Amino acid sequence: MVVPSAAPECRREAAAAAAVFRRRRDGIPTVDMSAPAGRGELSRQLAAAFAGSGFFKAVNHGVAARVPARMDGAAAAFFARPAPEKQLAGPPDPLGYGSRSIGTNGDVGELEYLILHTSPDAVARKAGAIDTTDPHRFSQVVNDYVEAVRQLACQVLDLLGEGLGLRDPTSLSRLITATDNDSLIRINHYPPSCTTTATHQHQERHVGASPRCTAGEPKPGAGTTTIGFGEHTDPQILSILRANDVDGLQVLLPDAAGDHDVSWVPVPPDPSAFFINVGDLLQALTNGRLVSIRHRVVASTGKPRLSTIYFAAPPLHATISALPETVTAAAPRRYRPFTWAEYKKTMYTLRLSHNRLDLFHVGNGVAGVGDDDDDDDQE
Ligand SMILES: C=C1C[C@]23C[C@@]1(O)CC[C@H]2[C@@]12CC[C@H](O)[C@@](C)(C(=O)O1)[C@H]2[C@@H]3C(=O)O
Ligand SMILES: O=C(O)CCC(=O)C(=O)O
Ligand SMILES: [Fe+2]
């Protein structure tokens, strides 16, 4: 099994993270963004949570509840429309509306979704197909949501920069605020399900494909898991997830016994919180000190799950290279420099569960930065 590993020099942060971790009864590291113990303590906590598990739950984050509530309302209205109307906003190329099929390499899940580029122009271009009655209102709702989560992402990255002791603590947030940043919003809708599917690396059982739940169908047997969204890491810098009160999200964490084994830990839903995880690019930027956490969504019976994820990404031409402070004699450079365009091009050729950052490990013998200047945009 793959064990998310931290470099030796960050064992101290990992131990501190474990302390944050233990304090929570549900096992989910939680950070109070209102900084009750001061900014220094907040940045230490946040860096420790990220180094220990690549993931934390942000509470008291300052985003007004009406912002995600409006986003949920607009998303629910879209997903309630008849299938032929929703398909006018697709197929995902990779932006747009999609159903069941994830990417172009054979991955499937029990969900439908919308993927949007976060630039207001790109949102406006898609809005007409998503909300035929009031596209301007839809754009406004998405733009307000993006603005709120972008601010939260910047706050997290600046605190992380301070926690890591970077000479320029704002260098991470500047990557995602550049005018030509390539950040995305994804809205996932998981209908309630009652049968079994599974074909993934860390899966317990492998069973056939499943349609939606219908009356009289058998309920899942013990030990089976219906996959809503298969296991993967997020490729970008940082992901900020918010969902309704329906469970399903799971993260792959090392077992408490410290026996190098891992297990899927359910993340209890909390619509008032944001769940924030390290992406592949942040793992590369920190030379592997922070680890991009594997996660998945298992289908839930009863209620539909609605989630919105903001993927904070740099411009396509940005070069991703380990921050100098993270490269030492004891922790030599792990990944060769690459551009986000190059990483993206590679990722779209791979399955969801692939460990794509491994391909950029030094010594892997693949082409270096500048060898591929194909900066094609997504639209
Ligand atoms: C199978 C795929 C879907 C994905 C692109 C990829 O080839 C591999 C990464 C996948 C992922 C996971 C996180 C996000 O949901 C996503 C939008 C992203 O940036 O990378 C998806 C991609 C997608 O659905 O297009
Ligand atoms: O829908 C969710 O809750 C998580 C989905 C996810 O991990 C993703 O879209 O990358
Ligand atoms: Fe994800």
Residue 179 has pLDDT above 70, yes or no: yes
Position 26 scores a pLDDT of 65
The gap between the terminal CA atoms of the chain, to the nearest Å, is 37
Name the residue among 28, 111, 112, 55 with its Cα closest to residue 298: 111
- Within 13 Å and on the Cβ side, how many CA atoms surround 300? 20
List, for residues 197-249, the tens digit of each pLDDT value.
Answer: 444 455 433 222 333 444 344 444 445 778 999 999 999 999 999 999 999 99
Residue 37 C-alpha to ligand 3 middle, in angstroms? 31
Q: Any residues with CB less than 8 A from the CB of 160 and at least 6 apart, and which?
A: 43, 46, 47, 50, 172
Q: What is the ipTM of this complex?
A: 0.99
| pTM, to two decimals | 0.88
Look-up of token digits 């406006």: 124
Mean pLDDT of 298-304: 86
Dihedral sign (CA 228, 190, 265, 234): positive
* Residue minimizing CA distance to atom 10 of ligand 2: 234
Residue 194 has pLDDT above 90, yes or no: no
pLDDT tier at 260, thresholds 50, 70, 90: confident
Neighbours of ion ligand 3 (CB under 5 A): 234
Residue 229 C-alpha to ligand 2 middle, in angstroms? 7
What CATH number is given for 8-360 in this structure?
A: 2.60.120.330
List, for residues 120-141, the tens digit of each pLDDT value.
Answer: 999 999 999 999 999 999 999 9
List, for residues 53-90, the tens digit of each pLDDT value.
Answer: 899 999 999 999 999 999 999 999 999 999 999 999 99
Position 16 scores a pLDDT of 46
List, for residues 337-377, the tens digit of each pLDDT value.
Answer: 999 999 999 999 999 999 999 999 998 766 555 444 443 33
Position 372 scores a pLDDT of 44
- Within 13 Å and on the Cβ side, how many CA atoms surround 235? 26
Residues in the ligand 1 pocket, defined by CB under 6 Å: 94, 102-103, 105, 107, 115, 184, 186, 232, 234-235, 311, 347-348, 350-352
Position 365 scores a pLDDT of 65
The three-class DSSP label of residue 10 is: helix
For residues 365 and 324, the model is more confident at: 324
d(CA 76, CA 152): 24
d(CA 42, CA 364): 37
With a 6 Å cutoff on the Cβ, whether 352 touches ligand 2 is no
With a 6 Å cutoff on the Cβ, whether 310 touches ligand 2 is no
Q: Determine the longest span between alpha carbons in the chain, in angstroms.
A: 63
Q: What is the mean pLDDT of the chain?
A: 86
Residue 370 C-alpha to ligand 2 middle, in angstroms? 31
